[in-house]
Amino acid sequence: MDRELQEILAEGYLDGLDALSVPELRAKRATCREVETKLSYLRRLIQGHHDIVGGELTRRRDGGSPDDIASLVDRLPSILADRVRGPGQGRLTATVEPGELTGELVDRFTAVTRRVSLDDASEVGDVELERVATDLGALEVEVSATRRAMFDRIDAVEAELTRRYRDGEANVDDLLIGDDRPEG
C-alpha cells in the first residue's frame, strides 16, 4: 500500500486530469478507492484496539484487578459498540474485503499492538497501557487525516468524470458499463 499511497498523495497526482481518457480516470478512481478501503479497514482495527485498551484502563481505574480479564471480555460488546457509527456522513466502500494490509502504517500498528497482550492483561502495567493508548490514538489521527486526503483525490477524479458527462464530453451510455464489465 505504501507505493500506491505515496503516489496518490504526491503533489502532482491530480495534475492533468482533464487530459486523461475516461478509462484512465476510472482506473485512477478505482486505485484511490482500493487504497482508501485499506486505510478504512486499518483505521477500524486501530480504533478497536484503542477502545479495548481504553476499556481496560477504565476498568482498572474503577478498581478492577489486572488479573480479572473475564470482566474485560464481558464488557467487549459495549466497548466496541461505542463507534458503530462515526460522526461524519460516511462513505460506502466499493468492496468489503480490503485485501492484504501492508506498509509503514500497518507496521507501526503491529508494533504498537505487540507491546500489549490483552489475553494476559495482568502482565501489562497501567503505564504501558497508557502509552499504547496514546500511540494508538495518535496513529488513528494520522490514518484519519490520510483518509481525508484520499477522499479529496477521489472527489477530484469524480468531479472530472461528472463534468465530462454533464458537458457531453463522455457518453452517458458508458455509465451502464461497469469498470470491470466488457462493453457490448
pLDDT tens per residue across span 7-46: 999 999 999 999 999 999 999 999 999 999 999 999 999 9
Contact 146, 5 (CB under 8 A): yes
Confidence band of 101 (pLDDT split at 50, 70, 90): confident
Contact 132, 74 (CB under 8 A): no
CA-CA-CA-CA dihedral for 42, 44, 50, 54, to nearest 10? 180
Tell me what pLDDT residue 86 has.
Answer: 52
The 10s digit of each residue's pLDDT in 50-88 is 998 998 898 888 888 777 777 777 777 777 786 655 555
Collapsing DSSP to helix, strand or coil, 161 comes out as helix
Tell me what pLDDT residue 31 has.
Answer: 95
Tell me what pLDDT residue 71 has.
Answer: 75
Q: What is the pTM of this model?
A: 0.79
Q: Where are the domains of the chain?
A: 22-80+102-176
